[in-house]
């Protein structure tokens, strides 16, 4: 992430903190060493760490502390990384490049990538159950993350094996895919942060509306980057969506209208935070950065 673009948020430090936490958590699990190495390769090898940052900033926006956000931040990155490893498999998007390196199934084997993804998903819930201090809160966070993961998987089905009624307009299909496959985990990251801080219902509602807006925006930007950037810059294969006949924002609306949609969703995200005052400034700044990101 380019730190010059987000002066108020210590991005590198936030990423390093969650990476150290994840490394320590993985070191303490009883796992076959080749599986541990595969998980470490996928989870600790790069990535922008947007979801852990959303957990932390949402937690702080409602008065919580950095340390309160850490278990949920780490669990979110494990589930996100599992989704990427399986998204890249030959039966899915069949990608060779991820986070600037060979995808896990290219680096190891297809069987190992499937199993490492499965393990990351289970490890995320094990981490929440063991590291969130209050059992009641741990249960709520696990339930939230489980539902968001179901929604992400539903989104991957809509994206990969679509079965919409004939009459469903393309834009409705597109929003359904994007809100599920990408929006659900981003919304969840925001909610887990706020819940970790014990947010009131009113504040949780604001954070949720913010998460829904940036969740959709994130995938619209991802679609735009697929058509406007190079594989080298992205660290993943560009021009993949058209090649695979994916339903994307640029394909349906065109590049300019997709960019306007990004701006509209950024405005919607900022409006959702109005009543949270200056504690939510870093979340506004992150939304602005996500709208402008180039990788």
Q: For residues 62-91, which are near ligand IPE according to CB under 6 A?
A: 83-84, 87
Which of these, 45, 95, 74, lies nearest to 236 by C-alpha position? 95
Q: For residues 145-174, which are near ligand IPE according to CB under 6 A?
A: 152, 156
Tell me if 247 contacts Mg ion by CB under 5 A. Answer: no
Least distance from ligand IPE to the Cβ atom of residue 50, Å: 5
Which of these, 217, 248, 215, lies nearest to 51 by C-alpha position? 215
Q: Of 111 and 161, which CB lies nearer to Mg ion in the complex structure? A: 161
Q: Figure out which of the listed residues 93, 174, 183, 191 binds Mg ion, where binding follows CB under 5 A.
A: 93
For the chain, counts of helices (H) and of strands (E): 15, 2
Cα distance between residue 2 and residue 144, in whole Å: 31
| Residue number with the smallest Cβ distance to Mg ion | 93
Find the part of the chain contacting ligand IPE (CB under 6 A) among 43-51, 106-114, 141-149, 163-171: 43-51
Residues in the chain: 295
Q: Which helix (H) or strand (E) covers residue 232, if one does?
A: helix 231-234
Tell me if 86 contacts Mg ion by CB under 5 A. Answer: no
Which residues on adjacent β-strands are paired with residue 102? 97
Under a CB-based contact definition with an 8 Å cutoff, are residues 105 and 89 in contact?
yes
Tell me if 222 contacts Mg ion by CB under 5 A. Answer: yes
HSE-CB for 131 with a 13 A CA cutoff: 22
Q: Of 182 and 258, which CB lies nearer to ligand IPE in the complex structure? A: 182
Q: Of 224 and 276, which CB lies nearer to ligand IPE in the complex structure? A: 224
Q: Which residues bind ligand IPE (CB under 6 A)?
A: 47-48, 50, 83-84, 87, 93, 99, 152, 156, 181-182, 219, 222, 236
């Amino acid at each position: 992430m380019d730190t010059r673009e987000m002066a108020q948020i210590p991005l590198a430090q936030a990423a390093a903190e969650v990476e150290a936490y994840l490394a320590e958590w993985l070191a303490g699990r009883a796992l076959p060493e080749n599986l541990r190495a595969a998980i470490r390769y996928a989870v600790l090898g790069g990535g922008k760490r947007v979801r852990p940052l959303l957990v932390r900033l949402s937690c702080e926006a409602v008065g919580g502390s950095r340390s309160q956000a850490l278990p949920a931040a780490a669990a979110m990155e494990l589930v996100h990384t599992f989704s990427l490893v399986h998204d890249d498999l030959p039966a899915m998007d069949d990608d060779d490049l991820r986070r600037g390196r060979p995808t896990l199934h290219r680096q190891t084997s297809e069987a190992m990538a499937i199993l490492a993804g499965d393990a990351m998903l289970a490890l995320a819930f094990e981490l929440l159950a063991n590291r969130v201090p209050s059992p009641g809160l741990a249960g709520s966070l696990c339930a939230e993350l489980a539902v968001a993961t179901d929604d992400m998987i539903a989104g991957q089905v809509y994206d990969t094996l679509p079965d919409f009624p004939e009459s469903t307009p393309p834009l409705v299909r597109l929003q359904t895919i994007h809100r599920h496959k990408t929006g659900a985990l981003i919304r969840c990251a925001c909610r887990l942060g706020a819940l970790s801080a014990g947010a009131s219902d009113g504040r949780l509602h604001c954070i949720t509306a913010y998460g829904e807006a940036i969740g959709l925006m994130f995938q619209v930007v991802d679609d735009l980057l697929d058509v406007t950037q190079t594989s080298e810059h992205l660290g993943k294969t560009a021009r993949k969506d058209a090649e695979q006949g994916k339903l994307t924002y640029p394909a349906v609306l065109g590049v300019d209208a997709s960019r306007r949609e990004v701006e509209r969703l950024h405005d919607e995200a900022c409006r959702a935070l109005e009543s949270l005052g200056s504690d939510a400034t870093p979340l506004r700044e992150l939304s602005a950065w996500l709208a402008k990101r180039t990788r």
